[in-house]
Chains A and B, each alone.
Chain A
Amino acid sequence: EDQVTQSPEALRLQEGESSSLNCSYTVSGLRGLFWYRQDPGKGPEFLFTLYSAGEEKEKERLKATLTKKESFLHITAPKPEDSATYLCAVLTGANSKLTFGKGITLSVRP
C-alpha cells in the first residue's frame, strides 16, 4: 500500500527564517510527486510536480526537490503570507489516483 508521511505536523517560523518541509514516501512505481498549498476553507492549490530523483522546481520563495525516498519543500526567507497547509501527494498506478500526506501547517510570524 502506498504511504506518504509529512513532517513535522506543524511548523512555526519567524519571518525571514528559512526552513524545509519533509515528505517521505513508500510506493511501488512512482509516476510523480506533487506539492499543494491549502489556505483555510479553500481547496488545495497546485504548486509543483516532480517526476524523477534529482529534479528541482522553484517558484518565488519555494523550492521543491526529490530523491528516491523523499521530497523537500524549502522555504527561503518566508513571509506571513506563506502561512498555509502544505500537502504532498504521490501519483502511482495505472488508474491515476493521488495518495496524500496529512499535510504540514506552516505559520510565519511577522
Chain B
Amino acid sequence: DVKVTQSSRYLVKRTGEKVFLECVQDMDHENMFWYRQDPGLGLRLIYFSYDVKMKEKGDIPEGYSVSREKKERFSLILESASTNQTSMYLCASRPTGRGYTFGSGTRLTVV
C-alpha cells in the first residue's frame, strides 16, 4: 500500500514563526498536494506539484509557499504564522490518472 507520511500529528507555534510541514510518499508518485481542512469549509487546496521543482497555486495560496526538491518530499512553509492559519493540514499524493492517498494530517495551532 502507498504510504504518505506527515512528520508531525500536532504542532503548536507562535505568531510570526516560520513553520515547516513535511510530507513524504513512498510510491514515486508524480503529483503531490497540500490541503487545509476547517469546519464548515471542507478541504481547500493550498498548493500542488506535478513534478520535482514544479509547483502550482491552489485556491488559497496566500501566506504559504512550498518546496519540492525531491520527488518523494513536498514541504509546506508558513512564512510568518498567523492565528488564522490554525487548521488541520493534509498532504496527499497520486499517480497520474488515479485517486489520492492522504497522510494522517497535522493539526497546527498558532498562538
Chain B binds chain A: yes
Task: Please report A residues at the B interface, Cβ cutoff 8 Å.
Answer: 31-32, 34, 36, 41-46, 49, 87, 89, 91, 95-103
Q: Which of B42, B45, B103 contacts A43 (CB 8 A)?
A: B103
A87 near B50 with CB under 8 A, answer no
Q: Which of A41, A97, A98, A99 contacts B107 (CB 8 A)?
A: A41
B48 within 8 A of A: yes
B94 near A96 with CB under 8 A, answer yes
**A to B CB contacts below 8 Å, 30 in the list:** A31-B97, A36-B102, A41-B107, A43-B4, A43-B90, A43-B92, A43-B102, A43-B103, A43-B105, A44-B43, A44-B90, A46-B99, A46-B100, A49-B99, A87-B42, A89-B100, A91-B99, A95-B48, A95-B50, A96-B31, A96-B48, A96-B50, A96-B96, A96-B97, A97-B33, A98-B45, A98-B100, A100-B42, A101-B42, A102-B40
Which residues of B6-62 have CB atoms within 8 Å of chain A's CB atoms? Answer: 31, 33, 35, 40-43, 45, 48, 50, 56, 58
B82 within 8 A of A: no
B residues contacting the other copy or chain, number (CB 8 A): 27
Task: Please report B residues at the A interface, Cβ cutoff 8 Å.
Answer: 4, 31, 33, 35, 40-43, 45, 48, 50, 56, 58, 90, 92, 94, 96-105, 107
A97 near B58 with CB under 8 A, answer yes
Q: Do A97 and B45 form a contact, CB below 8 Å, given A32-B99, A34-B100, A46-B100?
A: yes
B67 to chain A, nearest CB (A): 19
A48 to chain B: closest residue by CB? B99
Chain B residues near A97 (CB-CB < 8 A):
33, 45, 48, 58
Chain A residues near B92 (CB-CB < 8 A):
43
B29 to chain A, nearest CB (A): 10
Known: A34-B100, A43-B4, A98-B33. 15 other contacts (CB 8 A): A32-B99, A34-B99, A36-B102, A42-B104, A43-B92, A43-B102, A43-B104, A44-B90, A45-B102, A96-B31, A96-B48, A96-B50, A97-B33, A97-B45, A100-B35
